[in-house]
Copies of this chain bind each other. A is one copy, B any other.
Amino acid sequence: MQLSRGVEWAVHTCLNLSWIGTDEGVSSARLAAFYDLPPAYLNKQLQLLVKAGILTSTAGRLGGFSLARRLDEVTLLDVVIAIDGPVEIFRCEQILKNGPGGSPSVDYRSTCLVSGAMRKAEMAWRKELTGTSLADLREQVMRSFPDTPEMTRGRFRELA
């Protein structure tokens, strides 16, 4: 019952790409070295972000990943879904179908009150994630840790 590790990697990597700011792609090897992550596995996760339209990738010698949209058009939920697919924390298997008075034709995911309560909680979670964009995070970081952008660029120059 956890999101994939890749979610954390993805969010931080998107922010890093934003600090770098160039239009040129950054290879997954360098992005992985930044946090000492397994390069091939990070690559795999970044592919998912490409499929979701959050990053673009270019092959070839100077290829790599770069941001596909503006950061204020990417919410945390977008990243979560890109990595983990359509997330459903609570799983309603409609066991009421087999209970007394249960009908095969009823969709208990919408009528069952247990399911409803769980879904309501899940919606609260999603609402928070939808309400926070990567641009919001970026701004928070700049406010709380003003050195981060330059330190990030510096580290990436070392990894050149």
Instruction: Show the binding face of A for B, using Cβ within 8 Å.
Output: 1-5, 7-9, 11-12, 15, 34-37, 76, 84-85, 87-93, 95-96, 98-101, 113-115, 117-118, 120-122, 124-129, 132, 136-137, 140-141, 144, 147-148, 151-152, 154-155
The answer on a CB contact under 8 Å between B2 and A117 is no
The answer on a CB contact under 8 Å between B1 and A3 is yes
The answer on a CB contact under 8 Å between A121 and B113 is no
The answer on a CB contact under 8 Å between A127 and B128 is no
The answer on a CB contact under 8 Å between B2 and A114 is no
The answer on a CB contact under 8 Å between B125 and A92 is no
The answer on a CB contact under 8 Å between B1 and A84 is yes
- For residue A141, give the distance in angstroms from its CB to the closest CB of chain B: 6
The answer on a CB contact under 8 Å between A99 and B35 is yes
The 9 closest A-B pairs by CB, nearest first: A121-B128, A125-B125, A100-B155, A124-B124, A35-B95, A36-B98, A100-B151, A113-B140, A35-B98
The answer on a CB contact under 8 Å between A137 and B114 is yes
A90's nearest neighbour on chain B, judged by CB, is: B3
The answer on a CB contact under 8 Å between B95 and A151 is no
Chain B hits for A125, CB < 8 A: 89, 121-122, 124-125
A13's nearest neighbour on chain B, judged by CB, is: B95
